[in-house]
Amino acid sequence: MKTIIEPFRIKSVEPIRMTTVEQREGILREAGFNTFLIRARDVIIDLLTDSGTGAMSAEQWAGVMRGDESYAGADSFFRFRDVMRSVTGMENILPTHQGRASERILFELIGGKGLVVPNNAHFDTTRANIEHSGAEAVNLPIPEAKDPSSRHPFKGNMDVAGLEELISRVGRDRIPAVMCTVTNNSGGGQPVSLANLRAIRKVCDAHRIPFFLDACRFAENAWFVKQREPGQQHRTVREIVRDMFDLVDGSTISAKKDGMVNIGGVLLIRDKSLFTRACNLLILTEGYVTYGGLAGRDLEAMAQGFQEVLEEDYLHYRIRSTEYLGEKLLASGIHIVEPPGGHAIYIDAKHFAPHIPQEQFPGQAVVCGLYRVGGIRACEIGSVMFGGPGRPAPAMELVRLAIPRRVYTQSHIDYVAEAAAELFAKRKHLRGLRITEAPEVLRHFTVRFAEI
Ligand code: F0G
């Protein structure tokens, strides 16, 4: 069969409030043309992020009811720990409230002034936590990652020669860990191959540097490996996931992505003494080691989610439905980062609105257009997010359509594709923006604009 159906039935529904183009015009103006400032109830299809926005399964909700809310030693913790041990093969497991809490603990322990932490590409919170510790965060993507039209099958790979060069330039003593993000969110949701992870491991071994994964989307990455990496087709996703974790010394995970929950995170550390120090830091700000800032019911939902995400029918549908949106946009003439990634499609806004100069935020103009035409909320990843006084203009102006897990059906995705095509046909009417109010840091969340 060519049609790939959602491998679930819907038992509980949430209404979507429909709005008219005129209503959305008023809402957009009131929000200063920043879709972060729009109320969620005024959005028809919300593609702002795939983080914490997924739908939980009946089994996860059943787990929520079973949650053991004891302060210490709750059954829910042991169920969560056993699942994480069986999925990752790692012994030492800490729950945290979300990915950035794991990052904060890790880099408070291993970061510090004068140190350098390389990654294929750091996510914003990872970079911010590294920089907060006084260390420098360095991105080492392969050259193909900078070309939106390159169809490299593992565009998330790290530039291993670049890693060697960095180590010889700054010295191994200044590198407390090498990280790799799977899939690479900042680089378009692109996967990393097992071969690349092995090559990074080899370099880390040669220089005795620990290797950590940012494993938010580990299952989506493993699915791409199964589809694309020679020799992996007959292996299970579970086996591939295990190979990925076997190669590293630890991992930070936001469970709001492939953990299939609305809140939660994990910190995995093989080294016993580093793990003990992480436990002590966790207790200081997050909570006791058997709940890590979460409720027992959240641990149950994670324990179930981390197993469901490995179901191959689910992953087939998940990756195919993202690709389906990508194909429809390409067929309308819209340029995207190719090939489509796992959790999102990234529109090339410089191509979409070539008449809008970079300093007038072409990505944000497309974001506003998508909201006007279809009530669709997307996220600019370009000059609004990365620019600002004293910062160079980013190489790409992108608009991310991130797809929540198990939330929208194929007809919702068809609607998104239709709205984007309609906007593309009228693209010459898109207008640039100028900033009227902006905070000093992380300006994309609260900045306000006026149309030019
Ligand atoms: N690492 C990656 C690769 C991420 O994509 C995120 C979050 C985090 C770490 C931080 O996790 O939000 O649980 O603290 N990404 C979301 C996004 C916010 O929209 O891409 P968190």
What confidence category does residue 121 fall into, taking pLDDT thresholds of 50, 70 and 90?
very high
In angstroms, rounded to a whole number, what is the distance separating the alpha carbons of residues 117 and 138? 6
At 167 the pLDDT is 98
At 242 the pLDDT is 98
At 2 the pLDDT is 81
Is the model's pLDDT at 54 over the cut of 90?
A: yes
Find, among 42, 18, 28, the residue nearest to 372 by Cα: 28
At 60 the pLDDT is 98
Residues 172-184: tens digit of each pLDDT: 999 999 999 999 9
**How many CB atoms sit inside 10 A of residue 322's CB?**
23
At 439 the pLDDT is 86
Which tokens in the block code for residue 341? 């990634």
Nearest-CA residue for ligand 1 atom 12 is 99
Lining residues, ligand 1, CB within 6 Å: 49, 51, 98-100, 123, 125-126, 181, 185, 214, 216, 254, 256, 265
Residues 392-444: tens digit of each pLDDT: 888 889 999 999 999 999 999 999 999 999 999 999 999 999 999 998 777 88
21 CB-contact burial (10 Å; exposed 0-12 / middle 13-18 / buried 19+)? exposed
Which letter, b or e, does each residue of 408-443 get, where b requires 16 or more Cβ atoms within 10 Å of its Cβ?
A: beeebbebbbebbbebbeebeebebbebeeeeeeeb
The answer, yes or no, to whether the previous bond of 35 is cis (omega within 30 of 0) is no
Which tokens in the block code for residue 71? 């302060």
Instruction: Say which residue, 1 or 221, is predicted with more confidence.
Output: 221
At 252 the pLDDT is 98
Q: Cα–Cα distances in Å, from 289 out to 18, 276, 278, 283, 292?
A: 44, 10, 10, 7, 5
CB 139 within 8 A of CB 120: yes
Q: Helix (H, G, I), strand (E, B), or coil: what is residue 9?
A: coil
Residues 241-265: tens digit of each pLDDT: 999 999 999 999 999 999 999 999 9
At 394 the pLDDT is 86
At 390 the pLDDT is 81
- Residues of the chain with pLDDT > 90, as a percent, come to 93
Q: Cα–Cα distances in Å, from 441 out to 38, 43, 388, 389, 446?
A: 20, 26, 9, 11, 10
| Ligand 1 centroid, distance to 254 Cα (angstroms) | 6
| Ligand 1 centroid, distance to 245 Cα (angstroms) | 19
CB 424 within 8 A of CB 333: yes
At 49 the pLDDT is 97
- Mean of pLDDT values over 116-125: 95
Nearest-CA residue for ligand 1 atom 15 is 51
Question: What are the residues whose beta carbons fall under 8 Å from the beta carbon of 70, sequence distance 6 or more?
Answer: 296
| Ligand 1 centroid, distance to 402 Cα (angstroms) | 12
| Ligand 1 centroid, distance to 354 Cα (angstroms) | 30
* Among 46, 51, 212, residue to substitute to test ligand 1 (most atoms within 8 Å of Cβ): 51
Residues 360-375: tens digit of each pLDDT: 999 999 999 999 999 9
Which tokens in the block code for residue 45? 């299809």
At 406 the pLDDT is 97
Residues 75-109: tens digit of each pLDDT: 999 999 999 999 999 999 999 999 999 999 999 99
Is the model's pLDDT at 191 over the cut of 80?
A: yes
* Among 125, 182, 346, residue to substitute to test ligand 1 (most atoms within 8 Å of Cβ): 125
- Of 29-38, 143-152, 198-207, least confident by mean pLDDT is 143-152
At 441 the pLDDT is 74
Question: What are the residues whose beta carbons fall under 8 Å from the beta carbon of 441, sequence distance 6 or more?
Answer: none
Find, among 333, 326, 345, 321, the residue nearest to 190 by Cα: 345
At 188 the pLDDT is 86
How far the first Cα of the chain sits from its last, in Å, is 49
Is the model's pLDDT at 343 over the cut of 80?
A: yes
Average pLDDT score, the chain: 96
What confidence category does residue 388 fall into, taking pLDDT thresholds of 50, 70 and 90?
confident
Nearest-CA residue for ligand 1 atom 19 is 49
Is the model's pLDDT at 342 over the cut of 80?
A: yes
At 350 the pLDDT is 96
CB 142 within 8 A of CB 155: yes
